[in-house]
Amino acid sequence: MTKTILTVDDSRTMRDMLRMSLVEAGFRVVQAEDGVHGLEVLQAETPDVIVTDINMPRLDGFGFIEAVRRDASWRSTPMLVLTTEVDPEKKARAKAAGATGWIVKPFDPVKLVDAIRRVAA
């Protein structure tokens, strides 16, 4: 069965790169432009894994992760943070909010796909 991945990133270029890498690896990809849009997408989709950026307008990644985790339907859905941030405090904050893992941009498509497969298993 094909796994569905929700990617949440305000950069069109990054969304395109994620879609290309993940579709090529056999995943179905749904996308959102920021955290608010990501929450809207979750009302219609059931992703197996969520990949989110941190720095986004309207609702950043921290707020998005916290909102997703407040909903019992999504508490066990793996969430990977994909960001340019390297600050250990931000990494700890994301983990405290409910993130499953942290990947720094620019990402290696093979490592990203491996990480998604690991958390989706």
Segment holding 80, helix H or strand E: strand 79-83
- Domains of the chain plus CATH, in order, are 4-100 (3.40.50.2300)
101-113 per-position pLDDT tens digit: 999 888 899 999 9
| pTM, 2 dp | 0.95
Going across the sheet that includes 101-104, the strands are 28-32, 4-8, 49-52, 79-83, 101-104
- How far apart CA 83 and CA 1 sit, in angstroms, is 29
- Indicate if the pLDDT at residue 72 is higher than 80: yes
- Backbone dihedral angles phi then psi of residue 69, each to the nearest 5 degrees: -70, -25
Token pair belonging to 69? 């985790």
Query: Among 31, 26, 71, which Cα is nearest to 52's?
Result: 31
**Considering the chain, what is the average pLDDT of its residues?**
94
